[in-house]
Amino acid sequence: MVGISACQGCSRGAPVLDGVLEVLECELAQRPETVVLYADALPEGLRPLISIDAERVINVGIAETTLASLAGGLASTGLRPVVLGLAPFLASRAYSQIRQDVALGCLGVTFIGLAGGATLADMGPTHCTLDDVGLMGLQPSVELAVARDSSSAAALLRHLLAIEGTGYLRVEASRAGAHQDAPFGGTQRLRDGDDATVIVTGAVTSDAVHAADELGAVGIKTGVVSVLKLRPLDPEPLQTALSAGPVLIVEEHVAHGGLAALIRGALPEASGAVIGHLTPSAYSSPTSFSPNDFRVDADTIRRGVLDLLAHPNHTRP
Amino acid sequence: MAPIVRSGAQGALSDTVTLDPDDLARAVRKRVLTMTRHDVPSHLVSALSTIEILAAVYGAFVDLKSIQRRSPDRDRVVLSKGHAALALYATLVECGVTSSDSISDYGPGARNATVHPLCGRLAGVEATSGSLGHGVALGAGMALGARLRSFGSRTIVILGDGELQEGSIWEAALLAAHRALSQLFVIVDLNGLQQTGAVQDIAGLEPLADKWKAFGWHVEQVDGHDTSALAGALRRSDPTPKPVVLLARTVKGRGVPSMEGKDGWHFRVPGVLEGSARA
């Protein structure tokens, strides 16, 4: 099920936004310095915000560069802006403004990239976002997070609003069978298994869990580690996974600047581990415009684990 | 070289700071020329065209004490044409907001007085600038924030004229007028030249006043080297319900006859400053 509708008239359900809405409603009610900005693209699930406070929920129009600079200016007066932007357009359109007017000054601004990853793949490649984490991560001061469901979106947003500096949260559509019950942490082990481990971020996590369960049914014990905070990374669960056996990193993001790149950059032990990296096939076939080429699904993950186990550098115990 | 405003024992400005903007401009120009180094891409001519604008703003319009103290409700000056940082630093020293020691590291690798401004380092440097076209939206955010927080403070943004070719300026101009940000003042340093030639030959701006009016702004046209005219236009515009833009006609390289209004000096620093700077 696609969970975020970005356009007026689209009504495809928005469970993942429930967490965002809950936190922002609370923030607006309790913290007078909170200001919510958006560039005319507000999913149905977040429309209740408009009626909360007309002064502090501000539509800047279809103007992402103004959106980012305005947030920097507001933050410099002591306000706490939360910027809601469609992920396909936010970082790519306003990168210079995010860099110069917010991140270089480490200002307290939280950017939320809505409808990230393949959420809007049905609308074509212009609306797919496979590069937002990498773009935002180019600024070393920016904390990075990717929600996998409604509860993690809420927890991550609360965390980013509590830090002094700049944060980015990617929000994607929830998928069927999303895991809402695990306690919040930067990194969580959702399945145990030491034949292989899938390290995964985003809504595709539920597909990874499904794939691990299928592999387990045929005797391949596959662990699943869910990464919610991509910078700073929580190293311990990742180090454990990397030392245990082959690892498949799964993300709906290009290789540059995504989860795999951040892990390789932060953890030296990653260089010696057997690592596979699964990203949407659109990345390797740039002329492809099929929506499915921008997604990773459970079957692809299952096959990815099997391919990894067949890797000549891997010897199963 | 002693600044024209001397701070108190703890470096604090006295309660009654009064400045003659013309005196301030003369002192700033002298300091700018003194600070210019051959190994620094100082954008000297761009700094020289902006000096009277800065002198009018700091000498006759903003509250210096709140700027020095970094009070949340201070007036804020955004130098969007960040390549004129040299003039900003010299102004902040001459009006007593910061010390000459604090900008003594001016140049590559500086912590405080970076070649293009970095906010948070020095009192009075309110914005990081260098990439052009950001100032109006950033200033609009400051003005909107001041309104939301009931500060009553003003935000002044200084733009170059070539910078008006950036589309983001007009995107933000639209919003500032829509939101009636009357405490936002933009001053355009219309020196007519940009890096590779005359503005009118590259992407002309005229009729510029009509364009700003069409976007819903209150427009004043002034001599950008006449501090009285600049200060008068700022004060006169203060109560208007619209955001304000001053179109300030200037001369690039003002004060050094061999560079005045001449193309080709954007990055250059003369080997020997020909002639003495006009006071």
HSE-CB for A247 with a 13 A CA cutoff? 24
**Strand ranges across the sheet with A167-170:** A57-59, A34-38, A80-86, A110-114, A167-170, A143-146, A229-231
Q: Which residue has 């983001």 as its token pair?
A: B168
Return the SS3 of A82: strand
Query: Closest by alpha carbon to B140, among B111, B109, B168?
Result: B168
The H helix count followed by the E strand count for chain B is 9, 7
Task: In whole angstroms, give the CA distance from residue B97 to residue B91.
Answer: 9
pTM of the predicted structure, to 2 decimals: 0.92
Cβ of A73 within 8 Å of Cβ of B72? The answer is no
Q: Which residue has 């009006």 as its token pair?
A: B95
Q: Indicate if the pLDDT at residue A40 is higher than 80.
A: yes
Q: What is the pLDDT of residue A179?
A: 55
Q: What is the pLDDT of residue A180?
A: 53
Of B118, B145, B168, the CB nearest to A77: B145
Higher pLDDT, A110 or B270: A110
Report CA Rg, chain A: 19
Report CA Rg, chain B: 17
Residue of A nearest to B126 (CA): A76
Q: Which residues of B touch A58 (CB under 8 A)?
A: 144
Task: In whole angstroms, give the CA distance from residue B254 to residue A28.
Answer: 50
Task: In whole angstroms, give the CA distance from residue B76 to residue B62.
Answer: 8
Q: Over its length of 279 residues, how does chain B's per-residue pLDDT go in tens digits? A: 778 775 554 577 766 667 899 999 999 999 999 998 877 888 999 999 999 999 999 999 999 999 999 999 999 999 999 999 999 999 999 999 999 999 999 988 899 999 999 999 999 999 999 999 999 999 999 999 999 999 999 999 999 999 999 999 999 999 999 999 999 999 999 999 999 999 999 999 999 999 999 999 999 999 999 999 999 999 999 889 999 999 999 999 999 888 898 887 777 777 645 444 444
Interface test with A, best of B122, B144, B159, B215 (most A CBs within 10 A): B144
The least confident of A111-125, A288-302, B180-194 is: A288-302
Of B119, B141, B174, the CB nearest to A69: B141
Q: Where are the beta strands (DSSP E) in chain B?
A: 76-79, 155-160, 184-190, 193-194, 197-198, 218-223, 244-249
What residue ranges do the domains of chain B occupy? 21-249
Please check whether residue B144 touches A, CB under 8 A. Answer: yes
Task: In whole angstroms, give the CA distance from residue B200 to residue B194.
Answer: 10
Could you please state the CATH topology (level 3) that the domain comprising A187-314 is classified under: Rossmann fold (3.40.50)
In chain A, ranges of CATH 3.40.50.920 domains? 187-314
Question: In this structure, what DSSP letter does residue A293 have?
Answer: G
Q: Which CATH class is domain A5-172?
A: alpha beta
Q: Which CATH class is domain B21-249?
A: alpha beta
**What is the mean predicted confidence (pLDDT) over A281-286?**
65
Task: In whole angstroms, give the CA distance from residue A188 to residue A183.
Answer: 8
Cβ of A100 within 8 Å of Cβ of B130? The answer is yes
Cβ of A100 within 8 Å of Cβ of B134? The answer is yes
With beta carbons less than 8 A apart as the criterion, state whether B200 and B263 touch. Answer: no
Count the Cβ atoms, other than its own, within 10 Å of residue A183.
7
Q: What is the pLDDT of residue A285?
A: 61
